[in-house]
Chain A
Amino acid sequence: MTATLSRAVGPPRMRRKAPSRRVLLLVLPMVVVFAAGFAVPLYFVVRFSLEHFDAAGGQPWGFTFDQFRTIFTTPLYGNLILRTLGLALATTVISALIGYPLALAITRGPRRLRAPLTAVVTIPLLTSVVVKTFGWQVLLSTDGLLQRTFDAVGLSSVKLINTSTGVVIGLVHTYFPFMVISLVAALAALDRRTEEAAAALGSPPGQVFRRVTFPQSLDGLAAGSALTFVISMSALITPQMLGGGKVSTIVTVIYQQATTAQNWPLASALGVVLLIITFLILSLQTLAVRRATRG
């Protein structure tokens, strides 16, 4: 509110005093960095995705949709995209299931638990994904604590390391904080008086939650889900370390094609596909929120 107000009222007066050359000077360092490290690299990804494989590296630039044709006509890549979306969907759903209670505990639980629970969410967010995933590797391995526990309770058919199950466990652990942060923001912004009114009018707690709290937190849930989905879809370290080469996703294939196979055009085309899916999901979420607030 204050931000929009000062944006609408304050600056125009100041704009007259300062020439826009000063603005250009202020933004110049960041613009230079982003031109070299952002615009040019993205251009290369798009450019290489329209290239023949044999032309990679130094030959005259060609132009072809071959890479995209390969991706969309080979079942191998179709399955790869489906598997990637499936892993991201599973990660998002489980993150919502464990993130919601945690967000409730942070916003509605006892005050003294708020700081420790927030720290519990923040610490993994700021611990290197390599370290976290290494911890999971030890836990999930064939003679690891978790796999032995599974074996002991008769779930020995469930294998954890080098499987999709293990990868989803690692992905949930790495990315659920994004879900919690969105939900905490939504639950904290929610007008508590609506809950109190429902309770005062005799609704039991369960009903207050179902009819009042939950519907009002849907925006936060949608935002958290979209974010968790696109970020877990783009994970590289987790499927690489917990999948052991047996669980490939769009991203692990991009990595292999770019480094080991040196097939830059195919890697780029897969990168463009990933970008488009990311963009679609984020726009869908923005659209949904906009429609909800308008209606």
Chain B
Amino acid sequence: MRPAGEAGRRVRAGSVVFWVVIAVIVVFILAPLAVAIGSSVTATGYLTFPPQGFTLKWFAAAANDPKFLDALWTSLELGVATTVISVLAGVLASYAIVRRPGVFTGTLEQVLLSPILLPAVVLGLGILFALSLSGWLGTFPGGLLAHVIIASPFVTRSVLAGLRRLDSALEEASRSLGAGAARTFCRIVLPSLRGAILGGAVFAFVISFDEAVVTLFLTGSGFTTLPITIFTYVQYSNNPTIAAVSTVIVVVSAVLVGLVTRGGAQDER
């Protein structure tokens, strides 16, 4: 099947061009991340890429800045709380949607997934109104409500898919052997959904940890997250500390995603 003659040369030249294009695209994709990480070790007092010299002092500066530490802590708490609520409420709702199909649950599925496609800015605007009219603006619970709306669709979507792959005959067998509904759910359904729940949970955490648009509408003196702190900081400062903070975020996200893709690959095997 080896292509011969001029046509073969054209094919090979075409495929070289193709892979050069792919390489350029890959560089384009990784460039800003490389810049964020690379400029965190520059010895200059301002942001520059490629970095000049090597120092870790910007990491020390970031670790000693309460502004970043507080924001990091809030982001972690918010991410964990968002994930827990999304998983608990999402698994229950998904179970009802898949096992009791009907007009109500069908509509509910559409609504629960719709924040994925809804412009985040509209959601941020609406939640800003709701929270400021009820006096919850700039508080942790207010931010948590917003983050659950944004992150839970990813849990719901993942668990719905997992449930639809699951053979309902397993549950029927368990029920006919005398196990109650709750027992069947805990002993049969939940263990089978482990992969789907874990995948959705990590996604929800990362979405919450990285969220900036809706949160930007809701931050106040008492409540700010790490992405918002970075966003505000870069508007007025050219200090490499921000690159060090960004590096930490990239590493955390990459590790989490790596863990999940590996777990997913093992599941498939």
- Interface flags for B97-130 (1: CB within 8 Å of A; 0: not) read 1111100110010011001011111110111111
Closest chain A residue, CB of each to CB of B19: A105
Q: Any chain B CB within 8 A of the CB of A119?
A: yes
* Cβ distance B25 to chain A, nearest Cβ, rounded Å: 5
Q: Which DSSP category, helix, strand, loop or mixed, fits chain A's interface?
A: helix
Q: How far is the CA of A120 from the CA of B71 in the complex (A)?
A: 28
Q: Any chain A CB within 8 A of the CB of B242?
A: yes
Q: How far is the CA of A137 from the CA of B118 in the complex (A)?
A: 27
* Cβ distance B203 to chain A, nearest Cβ, rounded Å: 8
- Interface flags for A62-81 (1: CB within 8 Å of B; 0: not) read 00000000000000000000
Contact of A33 among B99, B149, B254 (CB under 8 A): B149
Contact of A126 among B28, B148, B206 (CB under 8 A): B206
Q: How far is the CA of A274 from the CA of B35 in the complex (A)?
A: 33
**What is the count of residue pairs linking A and B with beta-carbon distances less than 8 angstroms?**
262
Instruction: Identify the interface centre among B99, B105, B164: most chain A CB within 10 Å of its CB.
Output: B99
CB interface residues, A 1-52, toward B, < 8 Å = 2-3, 6-7, 10-11, 13-15, 17-18, 20, 22-23, 26-27, 29-31, 33-34, 36-38, 40-45, 48
Supposing A258-B125, A275-B119 touch, asked if A127 and B49 sit within 8 A by C-beta, the answer is no
Q: Any chain A CB within 8 A of the CB of B16?
A: no
In contact, A134 and B212 (Cβ under 8 angstroms): no
Band of interface residues on A: 35 or more
CB interface residues, B 174-217, toward A, < 8 Å = 175, 181, 206, 209-210, 212-213, 216-217
Supposing A42-B122, A130-B231, A278-B119 touch, asked if A14 and B33 sit within 8 A by C-beta, the answer is no
In contact, A31 and B33 (Cβ under 8 angstroms): no
In contact, B145 and A33 (Cβ under 8 angstroms): yes
- Interface flags for A188-212 (1: CB within 8 Å of B; 0: not) read 0000000000000000111000000
One of A157-165, A214-222, A229-237 contacting the partner: A229-237
CB interface residues, A 170-202, toward B, < 8 Å = 173
- Interface flags for B76-104 (1: CB within 8 Å of A; 0: not) read 00000000010011101101111111001
In contact, A120 and B111 (Cβ under 8 angstroms): no
In contact, A135 and B149 (Cβ under 8 angstroms): no
Contact of B230 among A17, A38, A102, A131 (CB under 8 A): A131
In contact, A44 and B130 (Cβ under 8 angstroms): yes
* Cβ distance B74 to chain A, nearest Cβ, rounded Å: 15
- Interface flags for B24-54 (1: CB within 8 Å of A; 0: not) read 0110111111111001000000011110000
Q: Any chain B CB within 8 A of the CB of A133?
A: yes
* Cβ distance A83 to chain B, nearest Cβ, rounded Å: 16
* Cβ distance B4 to chain A, nearest Cβ, rounded Å: 12
Closest chain A residue, CB of each to CB of B50: A145
Supposing A14-B168, A37-B148, A124-B29 touch, asked if A237 and B231 sit within 8 A by C-beta, the answer is yes
The 4 closest A-B pairs by CB, nearest first: A41-B126, A135-B32, A234-B119, A128-B210
Given A23-B96, A29-B92, 6 other A-B residues pairs in contact with their CB atoms under 8 A: A7-B164, A27-B105, A30-B93, A41-B123, A101-B22, A102-B22
Point out residues on B near A: beta carbons under 8 Å: 7, 11, 14, 18-19, 21-22, 25-26, 28-36, 39, 47-50, 85, 88-90, 92-93, 95-101, 104-105, 108, 111-112, 115, 117-123, 125-130, 133, 145-146, 148-149, 152, 156, 164-165, 167-169, 171-172, 175, 181, 206, 209-210, 212-213, 216-217, 227-228, 230-231, 234, 242-243, 246, 249-250, 253-254, 256-257, 261
* Between-chain CB contacts (< 8 Å), 16 pairs: A11-B101, A14-B171, A26-B95, A27-B105, A30-B93, A33-B152, A34-B112, A37-B127, A41-B130, A126-B210, A130-B246, A131-B33, A135-B32, A227-B117, A241-B231, A258-B217
